Amino acid sequence: MGFETSTKPGGKLVTLANPALSDNRADVKAPRKVRVVSRRRRRIENALIAYSFIAPNFLGFAVFTLGPILFAFALAFMHWDGSNPIEFAGLDNFWRLFEDRAFIDAFWNTIIYTAVSVPLTLACALGLAILLNQKIFGRDFFRTAMFFPYVASLVAVAVVWNMVFNPEMGPVNMLLYTIGIPPEDLPGWAADRHWAMVTVILFGIWKSMGYYMVIYLAGLQGINSELYEAAGLDGANAWQKFIHVTLPQLAPTTFFVTVMLTIQSFKVFDQVYMITQGGPGTSTLVLVYHIYNEAFISWDLGYSSMIALVLFLLVLVVTVVQFRRQRED
């Protein structure tokens, strides 16, 4: 292990104090004291080994993630355009939030997006996981197919989505037209103020459902089949088994999925950028989009960090509330 060959004065004692080599311990004058020293050195050595395992990741993580996070919190209380000197702003950026119409719209749009898409995605993912947990023909193919939108490039699928849902020429409206919906009643999808958010939400569910289905599948596979057998002996039907066995057993999975989904929907940006660019008007403007605009379009870095801080607090509050509720259950 290296330190037996210590070059320090009294190295011989240290060597002998090593438990592995201590057959002739009687020769050692003060074995106790020396062993304490060597144990301490061993502890230090072990800690150094452990730190050497962590260091490559931690250094990068500290410089490129932890540091910027702390800087972000500080920037929220500054005025800065990225080149002129930084000025302390106190709560200026905070008060500005309440007068910023776009921020208020973005805030509510983010809440609406989350409130609608989280339960819908959860229900779809759970339903599919239960169907695909059964022994049906071609199960692996179906599972893979459901998951594929999640791994597919957002830019590519958003383009298809835009084309398929094109109000004038897209196949979806063509289909609606052929089944008898008059042209003036056809939804305008991404181009229509009232339908834009629906389009973004549908796209989000379609894209991420498969991922949460896989997590639910893992959860379902962890349920002990004896529970179902016992319920069967008690005369439970399929629905009762679902309510009294499956759902309670899946509670930790549902908790995890809810937290993940909520965090993800608060962070929604890419799909908005690709499909509606926040419009029409501010109908699909979300918090991250506003952060992006303020930072990289207006170069108002302090204010954009303040919006980011609000977003962070929102995520934090929701996560903490969910953890509390989980513990109460």
Within 173-192, which residues bind other proteins (CB under 8 A)?
174
Q: Which of 13, 126, 266, 272 binds other proteins (CB under 8 A)?
A: 266
Task: Specify the residue, 100 or 270, whose C-beta has the smaller distance to other proteins.
Answer: 270
42-61 positions binding other proteins, by CB under 8 A: 46-47, 49-51, 53-54, 56-61
The position carrying tokens 């800690």 is: 47
Task: Specify the residue, 13 or 129, whose C-beta has the smaller distance to other proteins.
Answer: 129
Please give the Cα distance from 163 to 165 (Å, whole number).
5
Task: Say if residues 286 and 272 touch (Cβ distance below 8 Å).
Answer: yes
Phi, psi values for residue 121, rounded to 5° = -60, -45
Does residue 214 touch other proteins according to CB under 8 A? yes
Q: Which of 148, 181, 243, 247 binds other proteins (CB under 8 A)?
A: 148
Residues comprising the chain, all counted: 329
| Total site size for other proteins, rule CB under 8 A | 91
Q: Which of 128, 197, 201, 261 binds other proteins (CB under 8 A)?
A: 128
Residue 87's DSSP bridge partners are 79
Q: Which of 119, 183, 222, 248 binds other proteins (CB under 8 A)?
A: 222
- In whole angstroms, the minimum distance from the beta carbon of 81 to other proteins comes to 11
Q: Could you say which DSSP state residue 285 is in? A: -
Estimate the crossing angle of helix 251-266 against helix 301-328, to 10 degrees: 170
- In whole angstroms, the minimum distance from the beta carbon of 114 to other proteins comes to 13
Please give the Cα distance from 3 to 19 (Å, whole number).
13
Does residue 321 touch other proteins according to CB under 8 A? no
Q: Which of 132, 201, 261, 275 binds other proteins (CB under 8 A)?
A: 132
Please give the Cα distance from 242 to 37 (Å, whole number).
61
CB under 8 A: which stretch of 110-118, 189-197, 206-214, 228-236 binds other proteins? Answer: 206-214
For residue 105, what is the enclosing H or E element?
Answer: helix 101-132
3-42 positions binding other proteins, by CB under 8 A: none
Does residue 86 touch other proteins according to CB under 8 A? no
- Could you give the residue ranges of the DSSP H alpha helices within 152-286? 154-164, 171-178, 196-221, 225-233, 238-241, 247-249, 251-266, 270-275
- In whole angstroms, the minimum distance from the beta carbon of 33 to other proteins comes to 23
Q: Which of 3, 206, 228, 242 binds other proteins (CB under 8 A)?
A: 206
Q: Residue 190: name the closest of 283, 67, 307 by CA.
A: 283
CB under 8 A: which stretch of 190-198, 225-233, 275-283, 284-292 binds other proteins? Answer: 284-292
Task: Specify the residue, 30 or 321, whose C-beta has the smaller distance to other proteins.
Answer: 321
3-state helix, strand, coil in the chain (%, to 5): 75, 0, 25
Q: Residue 101: name the closest of 285, 308, 272 by CA.
A: 285
Does residue 152 touch other proteins according to CB under 8 A? yes
